[in-house]
Amino acid sequence: MSTLQFWKPGTSGPGSSLDRATETEENVVPSAPSSGAISIQSARERLPIFKHREKLLYCMEKYGVVILVGQTGSGKTTQLPQYLYEAGWAADGNIIACTQPRRVSATSVANRVATEVGTILGEEVGYTIRFEDVSDKQKTRILYLTDGMLFRETLVDPLLSRYSVIMIDEAHERSIYTDLILGLLKKIRRKRPSLRIIVSSATLDATGFRDYFCAGNSPDEATIVSLEGRMYPVEVAYLQEPTADYVRKAAETVWSIHMQQSAGDILVFLTGREEIERCLQELSEYLPTLPRNAPRLKVLALHAGLTTDEQLAVFEPADRGTRKVIISTNIAEASVTIEGIKFVVDSGFVKIRTYNPTSALSSLATVPVSLASATQRAGRAGRTSAGICYRLYPESALRSMPATTPPEITRTDLTTPILQLKSLGVDDLMKFEWVTGPPAEAVLRALENLVAAGMVGEDGRLTVVGEKVAECPVEVNIARMLFASKEYKCGEEMLTIAAMTAVQDVFVIPDGAAGALAELERRKFTAEEGDHLTLLNAYNAFARYGRAASWCKAHALSFRAMSRAVSIRAQLKKYMQRFGLPLESCQGDARRLRECLVSGYWRNGARWVADGTYRSVRGNVTLHVHPNSVLFTRKPRSGWVVFHEMEETKKTQIRILTEIEPDWLLKYGHSFRDKHTGVAVS
């Protein structure tokens, strides 16, 4: 049995005071839910933000933008909108908005605030997320919404005129919508200075946000207010030497904690499903050596690919005398909070997607986490009591870690965001005041995509189709197919395919024997033309058999994903009706459907080669079919396919393929070339 080979700052070694200052996470003791108005009031007054109330209200009068540095549990998200409401910021029909990067946060916070205010959810306090608007046009004064929804609202109301205050919460996460909305808010404030902005962020990013809002404005434009939280200290321990295998080391560390430390659950951060399963395997090999009288160990996996039930299992408290261990991806860093964690084991790595605009290729790579992430992960050990974080790397590695993760806007395909910015009248993208500017190459590539797709003309302005597509919540190439479906008379089917390609993880294929059975189930939907038609078959079967969860389970489909596809389809259907696109059925004529697919995917063509791989039409890159594809083991008769997306992991893979005839590619390829000679398309 190995012992813990960790060095703990504070017990020995240099540099501990600095480490403690930056890495102690502050957290609040959750207050018990109360029913009576008086106890709610006193609970509100116990929150750390309460004693900053007057100062905050003063700053809201004086400054245009308040950067709020608030620790977890300081009460900023729930309390500040209420203070503003009580101080009259929602008078005269004005609304106080608070954005969240995630749907669940928007709904759960709105719920709690409605209780505190003493109103029915959806009246004075409401929320708006995609597919769910629990707010009232007249009554709602405090509105929680996803940042994506607020961004979308600017397409209809460019000055966001119904709001007096907009709070952008969790801004340090730097989701693409957070960045886009911040850029727009800076612009809006120049035209409508009465609008107040609150940017809530972690310490590391605060001055950056202030400098951003002050640039080109008066120095009084923005100020920083810091709130402390109620904290439990988290001690941080490092490995003395780097490890070659952090998965094995993680299992070893969990086991050592279990043998040596008192009660308390353990949360392990790894990068993906494969690692999690290997770690589970390694741990299972220790289990037989567990002494008879020792506490038991309950080990659970946590990642987004699990079913809802499997995910819920991590929240169940372990039996008495049993320690719970959760082996998780980054989902537990910010999206999922598990109470009762006392020990965190951090691999120090994360999988991150980056987009290469030159090759139009996204890659998913395992990279070291940022200091901000490492701090956030450590903090997960201190939510209910003091805790310890074991980092599976030496302390010296901190020096080479980036301070923060690069914002999403620097790492993604900007085709859709730029279409939307154009629709908002932001025509000169180089002059747009980005919080962090995306690479120029990414902007150029996005513009080129939009021109090629007929959304933007050679003059750089939106075309008639571009104006319509900007409103429509789908990718540009999918929108093109929906428009082309009129010509091919297959609107009904394209609508379903558009919805099904927009959801991920439709088929649930577990590991081992259960996975083999699931594969057999999936084959029942298989269309020989490829994955798009297979998805269509699955959707139609789901609709035919009553959209039931039990039916999904029996057929290896994700009920969550299928239900989401139903919502998306219904939403897109409204857009098609608005755009006058007919909802005709192709009546089983798969050829028409496949041709229609090419109208959107014409740049995603690939040719089969003898070794079973494909070569991309653009760039002649070697492509591997994703094992989930129905064409994984089969050569298409024509030897040609189009695909929905490609991504570089260990290999470059293509997902969701359909067999096509090569001359269909030429048809759309020619129209692209025509555009360069000045002939208008679509």
Partner DNA sequence: TGCCATCAT
Residue numbers of the site for DNA (CB under 7 A)? 101-104, 129-130, 146, 148-149, 152, 175, 177, 271-274, 303-305, 329-331, 335-336, 350-353, 364, 416, 473-474, 502, 504-505, 509, 515, 519, 612, 626-628, 632-633, 647, 649-650, 653, 655
Q: CA-CA distance, 234 to 374, in Å (whole number)? A: 12
Identify whether the C-beta of residue 272 lies closer than 8 Å to the C-beta of residue 329: yes
Encode burial over 320-356: b for 16+ CB neighbours within 10 A, e otherwise.
Answer: eeebbbbbbbbbbbbebebeebbbbbbbbbbebebbb
Q: How far is the CB of 336 from DNA (least distance, A)?
A: 7
Q: How far is the CB of 648 from DNA (least distance, A)?
A: 10
Q: How far is the CB of 468 from DNA (least distance, A)?
A: 14
Q: Which residue's CB is nearer to DNA, number 294 or number 365?
A: 365
Q: Which two tokens stand for residue 182?
A: 């911040």
Helices 176-191, 206-214: crossing angle, 10 deg rounding: 30
Identify whether the C-beta of residue 508 lies closer than 8 Å to the C-beta of residue 556: yes
Q: How far is the CB of 175 from DNA (least distance, A)?
A: 6
The separation between the first and the last C-alpha atoms of the chain, rounded to the nearest angstrom, is 69
Tokens 């408290």, located at residue? 317
Distances (CA, A) of 465 to 7, 158, 313, 384, 454: 62, 20, 47, 54, 7
Q: How far is the CB of 433 from DNA (least distance, A)?
A: 22
Q: CA-CA distance, 189 to 183, in Å (whole number)? A: 10
Q: Which residue's CB is nearer to DNA, number 62 or number 635?
A: 635
Q: Which residue's CB is nearer to DNA, number 82 or number 107?
A: 107
Encode burial over 130-168: b for 16+ CB neighbours within 10 A, e otherwise.
Answer: beebbbeeeebbbbbbbbbbbbbbbeeeeebeebbbbbb
Residue among 542, 408, 565, 590 nearest 474 (CA)? 565
Burial of 363 (0-12, 13-18, 19+ CB in 10 A): middle
Tokens 């009580």, located at residue? 86
Q: How far is the CB of 304 from DNA (least distance, A)?
A: 3
Q: How far is the CB of 391 from DNA (least distance, A)?
A: 19
Q: How far is the CB of 412 from DNA (least distance, A)?
A: 8
Q: CA-CA distance, 150 to 350, in Å (whole number)? A: 29
Tokens 């659970």, located at residue? 300
Q: How far is the CB of 145 from DNA (least distance, A)?
A: 8
Q: Which residue's CB is nearer to DNA, number 400 or number 633?
A: 633
Q: Which residue's CB is nearer to DNA, number 545 or number 632?
A: 632
Q: Which amino acid is at 341?
A: I
Pairing type for strands 265-269 and 322-328 reads parallel
Q: How far is the CB of 566 from DNA (least distance, A)?
A: 14
Helices 371-379, 16-23: crossing angle, 10 deg rounding: 70
Q: Which residue's CB is nearer to DNA, number 298 or number 655?
A: 655
H or E segment at 522? helix 512-523
Identify whether the C-beta of residue 373 lies closer than 8 Å to the C-beta of residue 380: no
Q: How far is the CB of 137 from DNA (least distance, A)?
A: 18
Q: Report the SS3 class of residue 662.
A: helix
Q: Which residue's CB is nearer to DNA, number 304 or number 440?
A: 304
Q: Which residue's CB is nearer to DNA, number 228 or number 519?
A: 519
Q: How far is the CB of 149 from DNA (least distance, A)?
A: 5
Dihedral, 106, 111, 114, 119 alpha carbons, nearest 10? 130
Identify whether the C-beta of residue 179 lies closer than 8 Å to the C-beta of residue 212: no
Q: How far is the CB of 226 from DNA (least distance, A)?
A: 27
Q: Which residue's CB is nearer to DNA, number 24 or number 105?
A: 105
Q: Which residue's CB is nearer to DNA, number 112 or number 296?
A: 112
Q: Which residue's CB is nearer to DNA, number 156 or number 430?
A: 156
Q: Which residue's CB is nearer to DNA, number 35 or number 633?
A: 633
Per DSSP, what are the bridge partners of residue 166? 97, 197
Alpha helices in 335-463 (DSSP H): 371-379, 415-423, 440-452
Residue among 162, 100, 165 nearest 136 (CA)? 162
Residue among 659, 616, 662, 667 nearest 641 (CA)? 659
Q: Which amino acid is at 565?
A: A
Q: Which residue's CB is nearer to DNA, number 60 or number 478?
A: 478
Q: Which residue's CB is nearer to DNA, number 346 or number 395?
A: 346
Q: How far is the CB of 40 from DNA (least distance, A)?
A: 27
Q: Which residue's CB is nearer to DNA, number 129 or number 527?
A: 129
